[in-house]
Each structure stands twice: as C-alpha cells, then as structure tokens.
Copies of this chain bind each other. A is one copy, B any other.
Amino acid sequence: MITTDTLSLTFSALADPTRRAILERLSHGRATVLELAAPFRISLPAVSRHLKVLERAGLIARGRDAQWRPAQLQAEPLKDVSVWLERYRLHWEESYERLDDYLSEVQKKQKPYKEQE
C-alpha cells in the first residue's frame, strides 16, 4: 500500500537529488520540461516522471498549456515540513552545545600544557 498522508508524500518526493535540483531550479522561476531536462542529462520522460511525483506532493503546479505546461514551485508543503521539524530544533542545538562543551573542556585541559612551553 502506498502511504498517502501529506507529510509522508512530501518527504518521499524530496528523497531524490534530481527532484530537489528541479525544485531549486523552479525556485528561480517557472520552467518547461525541456528547460528542466537541459542541465540534468536525463531523458524528457524521466523529467516528466519526477514532475509527476512533485505535482502529486503539491510541491509544483503545472500550467494549463497542453504542449508546454510550465512547472511552478508551490512551497506550502515545505512550510508543513518546517513546522514538523521545529520541535526537534532543541535536540540538534543541544547536541551542538554538548560538542561545544566538550571542545572547551579539551581546550582547558590543554592550557596548562601550553603555559609550560
């Protein structure tokens, strides 16, 4: 069974470097499949498949022009990721603080040695 909750759909769409590169390109403005395919050295059908995954996750919208259908970034699902992420900020900041504590402890221990030089 394919997971369909929104956040899982978003994370799953983001779990691919080419799709993230497509989003990065679209963050500078809308682009057609042809324009998107150019820098990636992948086939047009492959780009189309990536766009379908991004569209299904609500991360892009496609134009109505049947031939070109330019893709456009839709950043709203990323806001939900940001909200989800925020509760863990304390945890990664804490772990960096622990590293800071460790490093300043190491420095303290090294000081007397340096003074003896």
Contacts and interface: CB of A to CB of B under 8 A. Distances in A.
Interface of A: 3, 5, 7-9, 11-12, 14-17, 20, 23-24, 27, 73-76, 78-79, 81-82, 84-85, 87-89, 91-92, 94-96
A33 B95 CA distance: 23
A69 to B, nearest CB: 20
Contacts of A88: 23, 27, 73, 75, 78
| Identical copies in the complex | 2
Contacts of A96: 79
B81 A85 contact: yes
Contacts of A89: 82
Contacts of A95: 74-76
A74 B96 CA distance: 11
Contacts of A73: 88, 91
A15 to B, nearest CB: 4
A88 B96 CA distance: 24
27 contacts: A3-B15, A3-B16, A3-B17, A7-B20, A8-B16, A8-B17, A9-B15, A11-B11, A11-B12, A11-B14, A11-B15, A15-B15, A20-B84, A23-B88, A24-B87, A27-B87, A27-B88, A74-B95, A75-B88, A75-B91, A75-B94, A76-B95, A78-B85, A78-B88, A78-B91, A79-B96, A82-B92
